[in-house]
Amino acid sequence: MAGILSLAAQTRAGSGSRAAFKLRKNGQIPGIVYGHKEANVAVAVSAEELDRAIRVHHARVLDLQIDGKKETVLIRELQWDAFGRHMMHVDFARVSESDRVRVSIPVELRNAPKVTGGGVLDQPLHNLHVECSPTKIPEAIRIDITNLTLGSPIHVKELTVPEGVKVLESPEAVVVQLKLPGIEPVAATAVPAEPGAGPEVIKKEKKVEEEEEK
């Protein structure tokens, strides 16, 4: 599983809001590692290093170095404060290359239509839900709309996605189109998901929540 970003982590003994506050004050984020029928491990990671991994490297999967032991994990859930400025807690789910995970991937449009025919650009789907190996998660699904024309939308079934990646939206769902002003846009077909759910490990084990820390 080469090419996965490495992040140092330390086991932690303390629990509760007071211990979590102390960690954050020292520039660390409390977290939990779970899954694969192994014991849950309470950890702490550098807030700065985790933020860099997510914002700069767009990491979804990490090699956690926990007191010298490597754990390959998916960033399952990341909780922020009420203002969305500071990370409060992170959940890491153990994964292997043979696992299948479900994640949301952004759709990026490239270039501009050569001929619009008076139409305006409409993008019903800005993100796609996909299922793939945790080591093959695309950074984005990129679509060249140079040849997009009025009356010929681009559907999910017409997208080119990496090998091993399955799009979970309806194949007939419109991703992007040109439409005449005043015409109602096509509604995107939503993929059912649990409220607040992040990337999902298929058939993953449920962790013991640490609600007192969040």
**SS3 of 62-126:** EEEEECCEEEEEEEEEEEECCCCCCEEEEEEEECCCCCCEEEEEEEEEECCCCCCCCCEEECCCC
Residue 207 has pLDDT above 60, yes or no: no
Q: What is the pLDDT of residues 186-206, one digit of tens each?
A: 555 556 544 444 566 554 444
Predicted TM-score of the model (pTM): 0.73
In the chain, pLDDT over 90 holds for what percent of residues?
67
Rounded mean pLDDT of the chain? 86
